[in-house]
Structure 1
């Protein structure tokens, strides 16, 4: 287990090196939003944000943590292996393949870390693993992170990115909505600060549970946030939705979010919030 976590710490150092421009990146990347091509090195220096239009591409959990945590402060919490409660056909093989491809056991990483010296518990969902869908393992990791934060009296910061419930786990996946929401409620009832951070996309059962329960609600620019997707809603109600519906900017204007945070500013904004929380706790 220590060897696994060590490899992941090494991976975080590689990401830091890439952002500082110390690795050559001659490949070109086409932005899925505007279609413009840019050098891969430009994307790396911009933290995987399109240099032309500002589109925030999804990033993996360790990449995100490497950009916000103090160097050397990352301590991953115990992993929870995925389950196959319904003996769903080919599901174990798919999980095994994704573990090799991504280095993850499932779609979320939880860790203890520091930002400018202030400790907090972090949860980061990773859309590379079955679109960050929430099954029993993800639900348990989020629940354990909230319980750990409560025991240690630390703030909780969760970055959500999810396509919703994990269909291969059926009702057991849907049960994680109530489980994680209850864990967050217990944490908050004990005075814990929960900062919920939405990234593109966050949909389905994750939006309908723990992601929408933050004391402070933040999001990356352009993030799609909702339960059902806009096309499904339009087909259901037979009406055209307002422009920008379910995007972070629309939700900020309508009071669902407190702030939109560009990727380059996450560390600064979270440091300010943790500092205010720490100061308030001493007063």
Structure 2
């Protein structure tokens, strides 16, 4: 569980008394959250817990009922859209592209916040697009249509588009959804590489708890729009937290390769 005497992690992004709702239903109540800079943060919780809603609001896709999302001490909802787009990028859960759009064309859309005129591609834009293609390993597919790619390749192309925005902060909503195990690892290892080599701050909603502990240095466990626990994987992945957040009983094992905790659920928790 998070404690008050923990050392503060350096942060550029966080929430302050954030309330988020749909119509008259409050989904997130009084959320105060700090995202550590230069780390991968995983938001975890059961379906309907509010984690995707929190991510979308922090990424400025949704407007809160009250409170604020702060970026460098300023509310992102009061800043010009183009300014925010130069600082953070988001990959939604199920992005779609027009039929026939190529990988290079898709990545080019990531340069929009930096362009002065509509459709004007500068030399710098081309250099950044080329860099995004190379860092995501898409050189062989640059002229391939997005709808002709495998799931993992397609997801890498969308990540490349987000990278082309050249933001320090990257949001991803369930980036491995609908991917098989090999493609899941492909995407997660790419994110790990971007974090380690580029210093990107990454915030992602993750369903697989073992993926969260392996690839994130910071975890936030959410239940009914409220933070139950946050901290390192070792601090969050406990039997007590899993019982409260997911209503499961689980053994916690240690990965012999990485030393991070792994979850082995074996039954539903008995309700009081």
Question: What TM-score do you get using the length of structure 2 for normalisation?
Answer: 0.33
Question: What TM-score do you get using the length of structure 1 for normalisation?
Answer: 0.32
Of structures 1 and 2, the one scoring higher in RCO (CA 8 A, sep 6+) is 2
The answer to which structure has the higher strand fraction is 2
The answer to which structure has the higher helix fraction is 1
